[in-house]
Amino acid sequence: MQHPAIKIENLWFAYGGARVLDQVNLTLPAGEFLAVLGPNGGGKSTLLRLLLGLVRPGGGLLKVLGQDPGQSGGRIGYLPQFTSVSASFPITVLGAVALGLVQPGFSGLTGWLNPAARRAEREAALLALSRVGLADQAGRRLSDLSGGQRQRVFIARAIVSGPELLLLDEPTASVDGKSRHELMALLAELNRDMTIVMVSHDMSTVDGCVTSIACVNKSLHHHAESRLTPAIFAQAAGVDLRATCPVELVAHGAVPHRVLLDHDHPDCCGGVHRHEKKDGGDAP
Amino acid sequence: MMDALGFEFFRNALLAGLLASVICGVIGSLVVVNRIVFLAGGVAHASYGGVGLAFFLGLPVLPVTTGFSTCAALCMAWVTLDSRERSDTVIGVLWAAGMALGIILLDLTPGYNSDLMSYLFGSILAVPQSDLALMAGLSAVVLVLAALFSRGLLVMSFDAEFARSRGVPVRFLHFLLMGLVAVCVVLVIRVVGLILVMALLTIPPFMAERRASSLAGMMLLSAGLSTLFCVVGLYLSYALDLTSGASIIAVACVGFVLSLLLPSGRGRGAA
């Protein structure tokens, strides 16, 4: 039986005292493209760090690809936030992508001792680069590339190990509009082979290729049904958008923006403003 | 230059400069790309406590200082393990505490210590043969460790968050790097003194970073630049009767300004 890509039950997490995430439930089938939205400080990035095993949950069940977080190694591809890499680091594009093949544990520290493995790494890195359309840039210095190109290099690094699940933290932040469009087209193509979870506070990135949306603001509401349908389009004109998820950019616009159906989950996004009291347990 | 080479103290000084250059090229590059220059400065100044301790106990300076600054570096590594933002105050405290400890211990040591200044400003022209052997041994240890764990150090330096997500033992690497910095600092103190150690750790790697296309290339280039600065600085110091450590740093600073004025040499050939 195939595991869901992500299974979360009654998860909570706290930095010190206050809970950042509470009563989180999510079952994400393999093959989905999930956009995780929500206000800054709402717990989006914390959720990603939990999935990666970088922080441990306070309680609840969390399985990624059927395993405990942090156990899956190269089966999970990860794109950290844009700012985590120094712009002037002396490394070639190919070298940066090859680092995505590092082995976990102490065996990964001494990898250069095996020349045959290094050759195989270079070939895999070149393949990943051609997949993101940058094979011709392999020998250039990473710092000579544009922001959009660099982001695609980091996607190549994330997919070079052939992952089943791709976790992206704000992939379209700090790239221009055209690059953003190309990036989303690339992600849509990658989604044919792997499950994708993308954290974003930028609503304009959520376009047709996203198959479901999770709103995270302390709790999580999964809009699994929210495929873009004519019915939702039709609804968009008449609905008071601010009463649904607090998607400000969408709230200012009209069709063809995606509009999520209203729901009465109290902790989800805009709902939290209506009443503070939480009555968890109603899994979406 | 040739007549200067006739003196043993000058040959020793050149060898010490060469050793310090190689070690600073490797460790300084890691310090710069990991953005731990402030931490390295803390280790360099705290190591003065080790100098004071050695005088107080009447033990050889280099081994005691190496042990002391390694302990100080590991303390700082522990403090900075998870939150690098909040820890700079603690580094500042350790920085000052190490220096104060060194001075107090020297105060408590009977007799006048004329050698004191040489650890602040360097005494490369007075490096004895025995220290040279110890320096060579420590350099070899640092280089072997750095080479052995080069892959891990590269992965962490490039993107620690990504490395952590892949299960690379980033905490171990952080301690390792700080330990290497400590040994490197002790070696360089002999050459230029702990006041000026930061220049040799940062100027050559900074100049090399923009021109190299790999971390190893950056290390090689900065070791070469550092050697050049040491040789030219030593010769000027000999010819013009200047303080050797300050001469080396002055040459490095001129090189630094020149490198800012020259094009950064992207795509080779331009530099």
A67-85 pLDDT, tens digit per residue, is: 888 777 778 999 988 766 7
How many domains is chain A built from?
1
Residue A129 has pLDDT above 90, yes or no: yes
CA atoms within 13 A on the CB side of B115: 16
User: Which residues of chain B have a CB within 8 Å of the CB of A78?
Assistant: 162, 165-166
Nearest-CB residue to B215 (from A90, A100, A110): A90
Residue A67 included in any domain: yes
pLDDT tens digit sequence for B65-82: 999 999 999 999 998 887
**In 3D, which of B93, B46, B35 has the Cα closest to residue B72?**
B46
Residue B219 has pLDDT above 90, yes or no: yes
pLDDT interval class at A252 (50, 70, 90) = very low
Fold of B2-194: ABC transporter involved in vitamin B12 uptake, BtuC (1.10.3470)
CA distance B95 to chain A (A): 26
Contacts for A148 with CB less than 8 Å, ≥ 6 apart: A175, A176, A178, A179, A180, A182, A183
Nearest-CB residue to A78 (from B154, B162, B215): B162
Residue A55 has pLDDT above 90, yes or no: no
CATH number of the domain at A180, please.
3.40.50.300
Residue type, A116: A
Nearest-CB residue to B149 (from A88, A109, A144): A109
User: Which residues of chain A have a CB within 8 Å of the CB of B173?
Assistant: 109
pLDDT tens digit sequence for A199-225: 987 666 566 678 888 888 888 888 775
Q: Where are the domains of chain B?
A: 2-194
CA distance B185 to chain A (A): 23
pLDDT given at position A270: 42
User: Which residues of chain A have a CB within 8 Å of the CB of B150?
Assistant: 112
Residue A26 has pLDDT above 80, yes or no: yes
pLDDT given at position A210: 83
CB B168 within 8 A of CB A108: yes
Nearest-CB residue to B158 (from A54, A96, A108): A96
pLDDT interval class at A273 (50, 70, 90) = very low
Residue A119 included in any domain: no
B265: left (phi over 0), alpha (psi -120 to 50) or beta: left
Domain range enclosing A267: 6-90+164-274
pLDDT given at position A103: 83
CB B212 within 8 A of CB B221: yes
Residue A115 included in any domain: no
Q: Pick from A109, A113, A118, A154 the residue to mutate for testing the B interface (most B CBs within 10 Å).
A: A109
Residue A142 included in any domain: no
Residue type, B266: R
pLDDT given at position B227: 94
Percentage of residues of chain B with pLDDT beyond 70? 92
Please write down the HEC assignment for all residues of chain B. Answer: CHHHHCCHHHHHHHHHHHHHHHHHHHHHHHHHHCCCHHHHHHHHHHCHHHHHHHHHHCCCHHHHHHHHHHHHHHHHHHHCCCCCCCCHHHHHHHHHHHHHHHHHHHHHCCCCCCCHHHHHHCCHHHCCHHHHHHHHHHHHHHHHHHHHCHHHHHHHHHCHHHHHHCCCCHHHHHHHHHHHHHHHHHHHHHHHCCCCHHHHHHHHHHHHHCCCCCHHHHHHHHHHHHHHHHHHHHHHHHHHCCCHHHHHHHHHHHHHHHHHHCCCCCCCCCC
Positive or negative torsion for Cα B247, B251, B256, B261: positive
pLDDT given at position A230: 43
pLDDT given at position B116: 65
pLDDT interval class at B265 (50, 70, 90) = low
**In 3D, which of B63, B35, B78, B215 has the Cα closest to residue B141?**
B63
pLDDT interval class at A240 (50, 70, 90) = very low
Mean pLDDT of A2-8: 86
pLDDT tens digit sequence for B149-162: 998 999 999 998 88
pLDDT interval class at A233 (50, 70, 90) = very low
N- to C-terminal Cα distance for chain B? 28
Tell me, yes or no, if B131 comes closer than 8 A to chain A by beta carbon: no
pTM higher than the cut 0.80: yes
Ranked by mean pLDDT, which of A176-190, A204-218, B68-82, B84-98 comes out on top?
A: B68-82
Contacts for B28 with CB less than 8 Å, ≥ 6 apart: B184, B200, B201, B202, B204, B205, B222, B226
Instruction: Provide the b/e sequence for B32-55 (b: ≥16 CB within 10 Å).
Output: bbbebbbbbbbbbbbbbbbbbbbb
- ipTM comes to 0.83
User: Which residues of chain B have a CB within 8 Å of the CB of A155?
Assistant: none
pLDDT interval class at B269 (50, 70, 90) = very low
Q: Pick from A102, A144, A165, A169 the residue to mutate for testing the B interface (most B CBs within 10 Å).
A: A102
Residue A251 has pLDDT above 50, yes or no: no
A208 secondary structure, DSSP code: T
